[in-house]
Amino acid sequence: MEQKLTFSDEDLKSLSSIFKILGEVSRLKILRCLMEGEKCVTEIINATGLMQANVSKQIKIMQEAGILECRPQGLQRYYKITNPWIIEICRIVCKSKN
């Protein structure tokens, strides 16, 4: 028997925030790039074709949302996805359209 899911108002706010973040193509390109592993901004720019200012802005938004984290190494900063659930959300949505 299927278990009925219920979402609190707080859950709905959280879902809305996550989908709002995933609703920007630039952020999705960055996430796709980081699915391969940790990368610095230069590597993200080269992989996505996005401008440096846009990459920096989108990374900041995703960091503030807890989706990305930063690891400084010398003069570089390396970014990675903090939790695999964000990748799973993307996979589920992409699979459901087929």
pLDDT in tens, 30-40: 999 999 999 99
Domain segments of the chain as ranges:
19-96
Mean pLDDT on 2-7 = 77
> Which pLDDT band holds residue 2 (cuts at 50, 70, 90)?
low
Helix axes 9-22, 85-96, angle to 10 degrees: 80
pLDDT of 98 reads 64
Query: Which CATH number, 3.30.365.10, 1.20.120.420, 1.10.10.10, 3.30.70.360, labels domain 19-96?
Result: 1.10.10.10
What is residue 6's predicted lDDT score, i.e. its pLDDT? 86
Q: Which residue has the higher pLDDT, 15 or 52?
A: 52
Alpha helices in the chain (DSSP H): 9-22, 25-34, 41-48, 52-64, 85-96
Q: What is the pLDDT of residue 40?
A: 97
The span from the first CA to the last CA of the chain, in angstroms, equals: 26
What is the average pLDDT score of the chain?
A: 92
- Specify the pLDDT at position 83: 86
